[in-house]
Amino acid sequence: MTTDAPRREFLRRLTKPGKSGQDRNLSDPDGVDRIAGDKVSQPVSRELSLTAKAMAGEFQIVFNLAQYEQSMEAGLAAIGLLEPLEDMMSYFRPRGELGRINALAPFSPVPVSPELWDLLLFCRDLWEKTDRAFDITAGALWEAWGFARRQGRLPSPAELDAARESIGWEWIDLDTVHKTIAFRKPGIKLNLGSVGKGYALDRMAATIEGYGVRDFLLHGGKSSVLARGRRLESRERDANPPMGWPVGIADPVVRERRLGKIFLHDQALATSGTAFQFFYHEGKRFGHVLDPRTGLPVDHCLAVTVVAATAAEADALSTALFVTGPTAAAALCERFEKVGAVFVMQGKVPTRPEMIAIGQTPSILSSDSYSPDQQ
């Protein structure tokens, strides 16, 4: 059992008081650049944050300072979920649950934990609702293009054909009675990278709310964000301040620049893009977001940010809508409740991207330094 002294020391190292009046630049290569705060000269808030490394990135919990006595205890409990969740979902841990499924399911049914079982059903449902644009069975395709090891390469036609033959939920058997999974052919590999961080945020949020904390912000790897309640202001600059937590939309062309911000209140947000994961072959650029239906990289836009009720849904749909592009995205958003998307498109001027808002997206407030043309 953990004693009080080591627990306090661990908590002390994790806990960082927020810096009032400063814009903590949490730039995400693929989109979200800001967690909370405006660029102002006077202090506007005081925050308490806890951070932890997990899933090849940094997770952060932000509380309003001194609002709840149990904030630190709740945050510590939420951070304690990250290691077991990563072990359950990681593509790169052969002894973890997903690793064992990928290794053993082609040969015999594999028992699935209740948590992972529910996540698999969620992913299969989104596969159907997005017309197969979101597909966690496309691990073989991800490997064929070299993005699994961040070493992008052009696959041969034979490699691409083999990967495409190993994709699709029609090759997956889920036994609802015994809660087992089996693959009908070899070569299939499940990859939860497009939904894992969002799912982890949802689990963390549920834990924090179990302690009675109702106002906080979570981010995972800077591309997935979940907000509950609102950020408290120590100085109100207008009579009707926006409710929620301000989150910036990053410019995928100029990394340090924001295109604007939106206020999240009991919502989640996720961004997909290819700004920093790509390679060139014979002068052509290939990004890491792949269309599982064609087997090819997609380049409909620079980035897409999705707002949804849960972080898992926002995470998954940001990938799906990046694949489909803005034309098909409007119809897809109508299949889900309270879902909206912001597409960042190449503008007429290369350094000036344009934004297209679709569905039920919160109002976008333009950045002080840049006001893009809206469509």
Among 115-129, 220-234, 340-354, which range has the highest average pLDDT?
115-129
pLDDT, residue 313, reads 97
- What b/e string do you get for 122-133 counting C-beta neighbours within 10 Å, with b at 16 or more? bbbebbebbebb
The one-letter amino acid at 351: T
Of 3-12, 115-124, 261-270, 272-281, the one with minimum mean pLDDT is: 3-12
- Alpha-carbon distance values, 9 to 67, 71, 76, 348 (Å): 22, 16, 12, 54
Split at pLDDT 50, 70, 90, the class of 7 is: very low
Higher-confidence position of 313 and 154: 313
Of 57-71, 191-205, 232-246, 263-277, the one with minimum mean pLDDT is: 232-246
Split at pLDDT 50, 70, 90, the class of 273 is: confident
Are 286 and 298 in contact by the 8 Å Cβ rule? The answer is no
pLDDT digits (tens, 9 = 90+) for 33-89: 433 333 333 444 488 999 999 998 999 999 999 999 999 999 999 999 999 999 999
pLDDT, residue 276, reads 67
Instruction: Tell me the C-alpha distance between 117 and 122, whole Å.
Output: 9
pLDDT, residue 252, reads 85
pLDDT, residue 188, reads 95
Asked whether the predicted pLDDT for residue 24 surpasses 50, the reply is no
Residue 83, both tokens: 């290691």
pLDDT, residue 70, reads 97
Split at pLDDT 50, 70, 90, the class of 16 is: very low
Determine the average pLDDT of the residues in 312-318: 97
pLDDT, residue 366, reads 60
Instruction: Tell me the C-alpha distance between 49 and 36, whole Å.
Output: 11
Split at pLDDT 50, 70, 90, the class of 10 is: very low
Whole-number mean pLDDT of the chain? 83
pLDDT, residue 146, reads 86
Residue 264, both tokens: 């999240």
- What b/e string do you get for 246-264 counting C-beta neighbours within 10 Å, with b at 16 or more? bbbbbbbbeeebbbbbbbb
Which among 288, 305, 325, 323 has a CA at the least distance from the CA of 222?
Answer: 305
Asked whether the predicted pLDDT for residue 180 surpasses 90, the reply is yes
pLDDT, residue 11, reads 44
pLDDT, residue 207, reads 98
Are 64 and 37 in contact by the 8 Å Cβ rule? The answer is no
HEC assignment per residue over 40-100:
CCCCCCCEEEEEEEECCEEEEEEEECCCCCCHHHHHHHHHCCHHHHHHHHCCCCCCCHHHH
pLDDT, residue 350, reads 75
Asked whether the predicted pLDDT for residue 363 surpasses 80, the reply is no
Residue 51, both tokens: 């951070």
Determine the average pLDDT of the residues in 120-141: 96
The one-letter amino acid at 248: G
Higher-confidence position of 220 and 149: 220
Asked whether the predicted pLDDT for residue 15 surpasses 70, the reply is no
Are 223 and 28 in contact by the 8 Å Cβ rule? The answer is yes
- Share above pLDDT 70 across residues of the chain, in percent, rounded to a whole number: 81
Asked whether the predicted pLDDT for residue 360 surpasses 60, the reply is yes
Phi, psi of 333 (to 5 degrees): -60, -30
Domains of the chain: 98-183 (1.10.3980.10)
pLDDT, residue 242, reads 66
